[in-house]
C-alpha cells in the first residue's frame, strides 16, 4: 500500500483530498502545515511514497517544505497544490524536485489522476 502525506492548512481541503486518495487504496496521513508535515516525515524517516502539499500555508509553506523534503528524502515524490497563480509561478523553478502543480479548485477525479500520475512516474 502506498503512503501519501497531505499537508494543507484548510481542514475541508485536507479531508477531501485524503478521502479521494483513499478511494484508490492509498494510506493517507495529514498535516495542517509544512512544519507539522516535516515533523511527520522526520518521525517516519521519510517512509512515504508521495508528499502532496499546498503551497500557501502558515508556519512553513509548501515550497520550503518541498525543498527540505527533497533534500532530506530524495526518493520522495512531491506534488504541489495551489489556488493562486502567483504561487504556481513560485513553483515554476522546482521542476527537478516537484512532479507537478495541481491548480485548485479541482475535482476528486482530478486529484486522483494527479496522484496516480505522480506515483506512476516514480516507478518508471
User: CA 28, CA 112: separation in Å to the nearest integer?
Assistant: 13
pLDDT, tens digit (0-9, with 9 covering 90-100), for 2-24: 999 999 999 999 999 999 999 99
H/E stretch holding 108: helix 108-123
The H or E element spanning position 39 is helix 34-43
How many whole angstroms separate alpha carbon 112 and alpha carbon 22?
9
Question: Alpha-carbon distance 121 to 124, whole Å?
Answer: 5
| CATH code linked to domain 3-120 | 3.40.50.2300
Domain boundaries, the chain: 3-120
Q: What is the pLDDT of residue 32?
A: 97
pTM: 0.93
- C-alpha cell, 75: 526518493
Which grid cell sits at 21?
486518495
What does the DSSP 8-state code read for residue 9?
A: S
pLDDT tens string, the chain, 124 residues long: the values are: 899 999 999 999 999 999 999 999 999 999 999 999 999 999 999 999 999 999 999 999 999 999 999 999 999 999 999 986 666 677 667 888 999 999 999 999 999 999 999 999 855 5
Kindly report the backbone phi and psi dihedral angles of residue 61, in degrees, each rounded to the nearest multiple of 5, phi listed first: -80, 175
User: What residues contact 97, with CB distance under 8 A and at least 6 apart?
Assistant: 66, 67, 70, 78
Amino acid at each position: 500500500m502506498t503512503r501519501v502525506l497531505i499537508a494543507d492548512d484548510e481542514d475541508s481541503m485536507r479531508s477531501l483530498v485524503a478521502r479521494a486518495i483513499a478511494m484508490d487504496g492509498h494510506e493517507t496521513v495529514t498535516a495542517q502545515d509544512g512544519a507539522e508535515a516535516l515533523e511527520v516525515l522526520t518521525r517516519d524517516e521519510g517512509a512515504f511514497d508521495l508528499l502532496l502539499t499546498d503551497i500557501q500555508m502558515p508556519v512553513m509553506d509548501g515550497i520550503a517544505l518541498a525543498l527540505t523534503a527533497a533534500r532530506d528524502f530524495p526518493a520522495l515524490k512531491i506534488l504541489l497544490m495551489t489556488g493562486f497563480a502567483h504561487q504556481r509561478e513560485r513553483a515554476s523553478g522546482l521542476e527537478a524536485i516537484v512532479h507537478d502543480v495541481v491548480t485548485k479548485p479541482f475535482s476528486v477525479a482530478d486529484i486522483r489522476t494527479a496522484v496516480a500520475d505522480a506515483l506512476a512516474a516514480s516507478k518508471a
